Every structure is written in C-alpha cells, then in structure tokens.
Amino acid sequence: MNSLMKKHGGDAGVNVSTAYMMCQELMISDLLEYAAHVYGRKEIITRRLEGDTHRYSYKEALQRSKKLANALTNLGVKIGDRVGTMAWNTYRHFECYYGISGMGAICHTINPRLFIEQIDYIIHHAETSILLLDACFVPLIEPIASHLEGIKAYIVLIDEDKMPSTSLPNALCYEALMADSSEEYVWPQLSSDTPASLCYTSGTTGNPKGVLYTHRSTILHAYASRNPDALNVSSDSVVMPVVPMYHVCAWGIPYIAPMAGATLVLPGSGMESAQLYELVTLASVDLMLGVPTIWLRFIDYLRSHNLGVPTVHTIAVGGAAAPKSLVEELDKQYGVYLLPIWGMTETSPLATLGAKTHEVASMSTQARYAVQVSAGKPLFGIEVSILDERKRKLPHDGNSKGFLFVRGPWVLNRYYKLEKADAFFRDDQDRLWFDTGDIAVIDEKGYVSIVDRAKDMIKSGGEWISSIDLENTAVGHPEIKEACVIGARHPKWEERPLLFIVKQPHAAIDKEQVYQYLSDRLVKWWLPDDVIFLTALPHTATGKLQKKVLRDRYENYFTKPVLESEV
C-alpha cells in the first residue's frame, strides 16, 4: 500500500500510483499561445511613451514574444537567468513578461520609484544579467551603471529612430533586435515549479526582499482571480491595469487577460487622470484596477470636468483600504462598483476580494458599502487565519482582532536567497503560514477586514485605535485631500493619535472644522490629540503613506512638541 492510500485509510480498489489524468505542466507561455489561437484577434491597446496609441492582436504579441526569446537566447540568456525590466505598462513590457518567462528565464521587474541605492541593491542581489528599460529610465541608471558589473547588455524599449544616445555600456535598441530576430521559436516545456518572475517588496525598513513566483503560482493565481466571484474577467471584458507592471506583475492582469481572451488596455506612463480618461473612452474600458489615491484623483477630475465613465462598471481597489467616501461617490455619481481587494507582494498579490455577487448587490446600501470597505472574502486556494500574540487561533466572529496569517499555492514559502525570516509559522498540523504583518477581523461569513498594519496601530490606554479608519474618515471631508495618522508617545496613554492633513487646493478648512467633522463620526477617545496641516505627505515607491518618516520626526510630539518652525 503506498503512502497516499495509507493516509486515506486503505485500498480504495484503484491503483493510485498510476495517474489516470494527463499531467500537464502549467506554463506561462501557454497563456499567450491560448489567447493567440483562440482569441487571436483580440487586442492589446497601449498608450505608447512616444505619445501615440498602439493596437495589435494577441497573435502579434505571441510572434513578437518569440522574437524576444530568440534575441535573448542569442545574447546568451539561459533557463533560470534573471532578466530585468524597468518599464511602464506597454505592449513591449507585456512581450518581456512572456518572452523572458516563456524561455525559462526569470522576469525580474524593477520598480523605478525605489531609492537608487535600493535599485542598485536589488540588481546585485538578483544577479540580473540583462536589463530591458524604457528610454525615460536611461538617465536613472546611467549614474550607477559602472557598479552594475553583472549586466551584460541594456536593451532600450524604443523605436529604432528614437534610440537615445547613452553612456550605458552595450546599449541595444529593442526594435532593432526585433527586426533581426526570427519568430520561429518553440517554448521549452519545463516543470510548473520553475521560477518565472521576481519582484522585490518596497519595504520601508531594511533592504527590499525578493519574492520569486513560479509558473504554477502565476497560473493558479490567474485562474482564481478571473472567476465570477473574483474579478469576473471574460472574453467580453476590456481591462485596464492602472497598477504598474513593475510592481507585483500589475496584480496578475497581464496573465489574466490572455487566459480570459479579454481586451487588455495598457496606459503606458499615462497614469494622470486626463490621460486615463482619454484611454477609457477610446477603448471602452469596463474594468480598471489601482490603488485608492489614483481613484481619488480620478473622480476629482471627473467631477471638475463634469464627465462620466459610462462604459466602466467596476473599479478594483487594493494596496490600501478604500475610504467609504470613494465607494459612495463611485456608486452614486458614476454607477461604478468599487471592488475591494487585499493582497501583498508576497501573495502574488490577490488573496481576498469583495465581488458584487447577487447577495451583495441585493443588500441595503449601507450593508453593501460595509462589504466594499472590507477586504472581501478569500479566493479558493487561499486560507486565512487570525492569531493572538501567542499564536492561538482567534474566532471568526466579526469582533476579535488578530494577526492575519495566510497560506496558499500563490503565497511565498520563503524570500529569495534569504534562508531565515520571522514571517513564517508552522501550525500543529505542520502547515506553513505567512505572517502578513496586518491586524484583521474575520466575520462568520468569511469577510476579512484589515484593521491596520500591526506596526501602525495606535495603542492608547491599553485599547487599539486603527490609523486606517481615522484616515479614511478624515478624507471623507470634501476639503481634505489626504490624511495620515501616527501614534505619538503620550505620558499618560502610552500613545495618542496625531493627524496630518493635506487640504484640497484653495480649501479653507481649519482645525476646529476637522474636529467637528470627526466628532460626528468617531467615538471621542479615537479623536486625534492634535491636527497638523502639511503641504504634502511622504509616500513609498508604491504610493503608500510612508509613516516612518512622520514617526521619526513627530513621535515625541506630545512629550516634546516639535517647534512651529519645524512643522
């Protein structure tokens, strides 16, 4: 009796040592082969960095990805090599995703908004051998190129006649390489567990850490995410990721769209509202994805120009909690469903979503909004658990707050080239869990609500205050553009909230009005002990509030106030 039979308690009468179904490896190249053969005429529409709009079919995308695989093979790239990209959302970057991973190399997407020291660090850490980059990033890399001894060639993603002159050693033009390469290429059939892409976290402390996705994790993530109760992407969809392809693979959309045969709309570097609006209208986009700040700006633009987006039915929002004011305005003014997502670089990233199921659609407005400001429910494959400080399981009762742990086939089991990390935990059944660093509540129906990052929660007199809830309440005020809350040390209460506000342009709101607005919506002990108006807030490379900068400066504000001149 083999081990599988033993585990399940005996011989069920079949020889389980022989599989009766075909065992086919899951390869990223098959996604594009499928789209090219089954949805060959479906388009990828790009706003090019050169300024014009480019349209081509999945069939052409496949041909050019094969050309890239040939070009990289000629440059000496082998299975397992790390090939870097530093590029916006364009068809050329899409070809890199498929050409590089398809040939068995690792597509190492590099976030250009990281500090240059971090970029230098991750290129060394990943031992990146070739870098494909948009021309706009050439000046960023030139000053450090002399340190990057491992990079054998730089390939600039640009038309031949626009190739910039550069001091980068061995700089090649992408389109010249394309012109010289054959589209005859047979993708290697490798194990599903072959690494396919690499993305570094944009950590605010310490060095960035690498997350190495496999072909299998990428495809399973795409299967789960395109489902009706998830992003609901079909061959009728027109999808525009407004999340950059240089961070967590644009939430998997470059894989999900070809799997579904959906039209893919890529905004290039045009992430500003006017450019997005133009592209939404041109391509009749119906699903967009991005972080809350993008959409707060976008609806400001729609409002001030008296515009609507009739083709859009869903905006998927993740990376940070969506404020209720955003949910409400999208619903009431634009008829758009804000679909909440929670995930991390470490979870590929999609893990929980709040889809507009029939049940959700038929809820009362306020109950529906409550779902939309939560993180939604886990996708099939993802398990979630909340634990206390001693790693004891807490109930899913909608009340208990705990450290959120996750597991699943597209959650990392270790960081790249980092043998030890505190973030992993084995339960009493020897199952591995990843500590997300978030504090969450889970209710009886399985809805997860993120209370805060564990390190951002404010501990006031033994009780917790969620900085996220405070911030999202504050930005509900029409004159407040952005808000950030930190816990500052307090002689009596241990910590008390300190609120920073950036006003909308020309707004006249003062401290008293802020307090009036918040006291109508929050319990008294949650009200911040002070409000500071700033002209801008610090952000990380992925657009999140960089609280560490404010904490370093203001954590002693209530014990030793910062001088007026320092504010």
Please tell me which residue in 393, 459, 544, 548 is annotated as part of the active site: 459
Angle at 320 between CA 319 and CA 323, to 5 degrees: 140
| Nearest residue (CB) to ligand AMP, 436 versus 473 | 436
The DSSP result for 68-109, as a single string, is HHHHHHHTT--TT-EEEEE--BSHHHHHHHHHHHHTT-EEEE
Choose one: 58-66, 68-76, 181-189, 315-323; the region binding ligand AMP (CB under 6 A): 315-323
201 annotated active-site:
yes
- Asked if residue 323 binds ligand AMP (CB under 6 A), the reply is no
Q: Is 391 a catalytic residue?
A: no
Query: Based on CB atoms, which residue is closest to ligand AMP, 261 or 354?
Result: 354
Contact map string, positions 443 to 462, toward ligand AMP, x by CB under 6 A? -------x--x---------
Shortest distance, CB of residue 377 to ligand AMP, whole angstroms? 12
Binding range to ligand AMP, per CB under 6 A, among 58-66, 155-163, 281-289, 336-344? 336-344
Residue type at 432 in one-letter notation: L
Sequential DSSP letters for 439-460: EEEE-TT--EEEEEEGGG-EEE
Q: Residue 54 carries which DSSP code?
A: E
Check 33, 346, 471, 482 and give the catalytic one. 346
Q: Which of 90, 201, 217, 460 binds ligand AMP (CB under 6 A)?
A: 201
Tokens 């320092």 belong to 566
Q: How far apart are the first and last CA of the chain?
A: 73
Is residue 372 a contact residue for ligand AMP (CB under 6 A)? no
Tell the residue number behind the tokens 């199921």, with chain if given: 357
Other CB atoms within a 10 A radius of the CB of residue 315 amount to: 26
Residue 492 bears catalytic tag: no
- 402 strand-pairing partners: 440
User: Structure tokens of 486?
Assistant: 């930190």
Q: Are 136 and 269 in contact (CB under 8 A)?
A: yes
User: By C-beta, is 172 or 370 nearer to ligand AMP?
Assistant: 370
Between helix 28-38 and helix 91-102 the angle, nearest 10°, is 120
**Of the residues 65, 89, 101, 202, which one makes contact with ligand AMP according to CB under 6 A:** 202
Site residues (CB under 6 A) for ligand AMP, limited to 521-560: 542
Q: Which is nearer to ligand AMP, 99 or 343 (CB)?
A: 343
User: Coil, strand or helix: which one is 405?
Assistant: strand
Q: How is residue 168 annotated by DSSP?
A: S
Write the DSSP assignment of 505-517 as a string of letters. TT----HHHHHHH
The interface region with ligand AMP, picked from 46-54, 100-108, 163-171, 433-441 by CB under 6 A, is 433-441
Q: Which of 114, 283, 320, 353 binds ligand AMP (CB under 6 A)?
A: 320
Is 464 a catalytic site residue? yes
Among residues 340, 378, 402, 497, the one that binds ligand AMP under rule CB under 6 A:
340
Say how many residues touch ligand AMP, by CB under 6 A: 21
Residue 318 sits in the site that holds ligand AMP (CB under 6 A): yes
The least CB distance from residue 51 to ligand AMP, in Å, is 30
Catalytic residue selected from 59, 183, 455, 464: 464
Instruction: Tell me how far the alpha carbon of residue 76 is from its chain's centroid.
Output: 32
Q: Which of 46, 194, 201, 352 is catalytic?
A: 201
Kindly indicate which of the ranges 102-110, 266-274, 340-348, 484-492 contains the residues binding ligand AMP, using the contact rule CB under 6 A: 340-348
CA nearest to 181, candidates 78, 68, 92, 100: 68
If the CB atoms of residues 216 and 247 are measured against ligand AMP, the closer one turns out to be: 247
Closest CA to 345 of 200, 193, 224: 200
Nearer to ligand AMP, 203 or 409 (CB): 203
**Single residue of 119, 262, 375, 483 touching ligand AMP by CB under 6 A:** 375
* Residue 299 engages ligand AMP in binding (rule: CB under 6 A): no
Site string for ligand AMP, 148-187 (x = CB under 6 A): ----------------------------------------
3-state secondary structure of 115: coil
Q: Which long-range contacts (CB under 8 A, 24 or more apart) does 410-415 make?
A: 410/213, 410/217, 410/218, 410/220, 410/221, 410/224, 410/347, 410/348, 410/381, 410/382, 411/346, 411/347, 411/348, 411/351, 411/382, 412/211, 412/212, 412/346, 412/347, 415/209, 415/210, 415/211
Question: Least separation, in Å, of the C-beta of 322 and ligand AMP?
Answer: 7
Are β-strands 287-290 and 238-241 bridged in parallel, bridged antiparallel, or unpaired? parallel
Q: Which helix (H) or strand (E) holds 44?
A: strand 43-47
Q: List binders of ligand AMP among 342-371 (CB under 6 A).
A: 342-345, 349
- Point out which residues bind ligand AMP (CB under 6 A): 201-202, 248, 318-321, 340-345, 349, 375, 436-438, 450, 453, 542
Catalytic residues: 201, 346, 459, 464
